A = this chain, B = another copy of it.
Amino acid sequence: MTAEAALADQWRSLLSRYSRIAHDLDRELQSGHGLTVSEYEALDQLLCRPPCKVRVQDLVESMHLSQSALSRTVARLEKCGLVERAMCDTDRRGVFVTPTEEGRRVHGEARPTYLQVLARHLS
């Protein structure tokens, strides 16, 4: 009984922290840089990976998005000129995603906003 209440409390606390941060991130990245959280985090993943040339499949594994959602996220980023999609030579089913210069710039601008929100919420 108490164990159940403890579980529920733990979840409620996690949910609460998550919701507040996600909401703020979304609001500030959107209004300041025109990015959704998923878009920012996809850019972030791309730029943190040395080759900067990542298959969509690899991004799926490192993000908490379904394959379809990520496919569309990449499509939006491409439409905004922040990434480019390129055929993968060795496996023509695959798609390499690479950030553009503009993508690097926008990510660089958005990064302080992102970190500020995190700092505000996380000790």
Contacts and interface: CB of A to CB of B under 8 A. Distances in A.
Interface in A1-52: 4, 7-8, 10-11, 14-22
**Chain A facing B: main interface SS:** helix
A2 to B, nearest CB: 13
Contact of A64 (B10, B16, B119): B16
Contacts of A4: 115
Given A7-B122, A10-B122, A122-B10, A15 B115 contact: no
B64 A7 contact: no
A118 interface: yes
B15 A64 contact: yes
Contact of A7 (B19, B22, B118): B118
